[in-house]
Structures are given as structure tokens and as C-alpha cells.
Amino acid sequence: ANSVEEQKFSLKEVLDTFSLCLSENKEVYIEHYVEGWRGLVRFMNSLGSVFSFISKDAVNKIEILAKFFNGENGTHYSTIQSMVKYELDNGLVDLAKRDKYPESGCRTLLRLHRALRWLELFLERLRTSSEDCKTSVMCSEAYNESLAQHHAWIIRKAAGMAFCVLPGRPTFFEVMNVGTSEQVVSMLGDALPLISEVYDITEKLYAQHELLQLP
Ligand code: 1PZ
């Protein structure tokens, strides 16, 4: 028997989730955004326990957003746009320092948003890499260009150590469970523009409202 449950998941499904994020008028659905992150965390966990300090933090943030989404004010958390409007209109965001609202939807999503930029840069490097390229190098270059700028020294150190034990490119492609490396490359070529679009829309929205540095 080869039931759906028994099949290993494929990173394609996960990345497809991000294509569901965009509404017709280019708003970003939080439900699918969070679902996409759950899939990424599952993928990361399948790479080994060294990454658990990273996935713990991601899961924590996913759960904060899921709670808002499923909570009594859930209708306001349907899209990132509606969340930003609702939390700002009602003074539910700590703008200068963490105070009364240390876990607002806006500041929590911003952390995942920054990590999405890392993902975009890393997957683009994977896509265009040759067989002998090192995943650890691609990963840390992507990290240094994005997330690292927002992380304290101690976290950058820990992240750097985790990158060193990433499996090599062939194993990495295998764990993605997408097929041959040509198929991985073409899947990434399809998925990346969508991830970039979700990223760019969120970035613009946060910039407009001066939320890019939320504590
Ligand atoms: C496949 C290899 C995985 C590499 C992942 C690269 C990202 C490294 C990030 C290391 C951060 C880990 C610890 C937590 C840091 C938190 O302090 C920050 C800020 O949150 P705050 O303290 O302000 O509440 N958290 C983040 O920056 C969110 C990080 C989420 C990382 C998710 C990675 C998902 C990887 C998917 C793999 C395909």
C-alpha cells in the first residue's frame, strides 16, 4: 500500500503553497503564508537535529500568527494587509521598543518575512549552482546578505555552525524529493518568481508603514 500519508513530502508542494498566498488584488493570505512556513520547517527538520534551534524559533512564530488567525479577531488576520491595518489602527504594535505588545502580528511576521528573503537568495543560488558547489557556502552567503544583518553575534555564530553540517548538493536535492536535478532546477525556476513576488509585496507594505525595523 502506498497511501498519501506514507509518501514522503516533496519540496514542490511546499513551495506551491506560496503560490496560493496571493489574492487577485495582490494581497497576501496569512493562512497560506503560515502553511508554507510549516512545510519549510518540516523540510528543515528532515535535514537533522542541528537545525532544531532554528526550527523552534520559526515554529514559535508560526504559532503566534496561527493563534491570531484562529482567534476572535481572526477576520482581521486574513491577509498581511488587513493585519497591518488592524494592528496599527488599534495601537497593537510596539513601534519603538518591545513593551505592551512584544508579540504583535506585525513584528512576528516581519521575522518570517526577513527569513523569506534568505530563502529566496539561497534557492536562487541552488538553482544556478553547478554540481560541485557547496550548500554551506551558498547558505551562508544568502544569510550574510539578508538575515544576518538583523541577528546578534551569538546567533550568527550558531547559524554559521549549523550551515557547516548541511548535506552536500546531491543529498540536498534528494531530500527535496522532486526528481532529477534537472527537475529540481526547473521546479525552482517556477517557484522563485512567486516567492519573490510575495516578498516584494510584503516589503513594500512594511516600508510604506515604516514597519521594517519593528523591535
Ligand atoms: C536549510 C538550512 C537552514 C538554514 C536556515 C537559515 C536561517 C538561519 C536563522 C538562524 C536563526 C535562529 C534562531 C532565532 C533567532 C531569532 O532571534 C530571530 C529574531 O526573532 P526575535 O528574537 O526578534 O523574536 N528569528 C528569526 O530571524 C526567524 C528565523 C526563522 C528561520 C527560518 C528558517 C527556515 C528554513 C527553511 C529551510 C528550507
Q: What is the pLDDT of residues 81-123, one digit of tens each?
A: 999 999 999 999 999 999 999 999 999 999 999 999 999 999 9
Is 129's pLDDT higher than 90? yes
57 Cβ closer than 6 Å to some ligand 1 atom? yes
Domain count, the chain: 1
Q: What is the pLDDT of residues 18-60, one digit of tens each?
A: 999 999 999 999 999 999 999 999 999 988 888 888 999 999 9
What's the CATH number where 139 sits?
1.10.3520.10
51 Cβ closer than 6 Å to some ligand 1 atom? yes
Please report the pLDDT score of residue 50 as a whole number: 85
Closest CA to 211 of 37, 92, 74, 58: 92
Instruction: For residue 54, count other CB atoms closer than 10 A to its CB.
Output: 17
- Asked if residue 102 is part of any domain, the answer here is yes
Please report the pLDDT score of residue 4 as a whole number: 53
- Asked if residue 1 is part of any domain, the answer here is no
- Asked if residue 215 is part of any domain, the answer here is no
Task: Please name the residues in contact with 132: beta carbons below 8 A apart, sequence gap of 6 or more.
Answer: 169
Q: What is the pLDDT of residues 144-170, one digit of tens each?
A: 999 999 999 999 999 999 999 999 999
ipTM (interface pTM):
0.96
111 Cβ closer than 6 Å to some ligand 1 atom? yes
Looking at every residue in the chain, the average pLDDT score rounds to 95
Which helix (H) or strand (E) segment holds residue 177: the answer is none
DSSP assignment of 52-76: HHHHHHHHHHHHHHHHHHHSTTGGG
Is 171's pLDDT higher than 80? yes
Please report the pLDDT score of residue 182 as a whole number: 96
Which structural domain range is residue 195 located in? 11-208
Q: Round to whole Å and give the CA distance between 187 and 214.
A: 34
Residue 155 C-alpha to ligand 1 middle, in angstroms? 9
Residue 57 C-alpha to ligand 1 middle, in angstroms? 6
Please report the pLDDT score of residue 9 as a whole number: 78
Percent of the chain at pLDDT > 90 equals: 92
- Asked if residue 6 is part of any domain, the answer here is no
Kindly state the cell numbers that stand for 39: 512545510
58 Cβ closer than 6 Å to some ligand 1 atom? yes
- Asked if residue 3 is part of any domain, the answer here is no
- Asked if residue 111 is part of any domain, the answer here is yes
- Asked if residue 5 is part of any domain, the answer here is no
Instruction: For residue 167, count other CB atoms closer than 10 A to its CB.
Output: 14
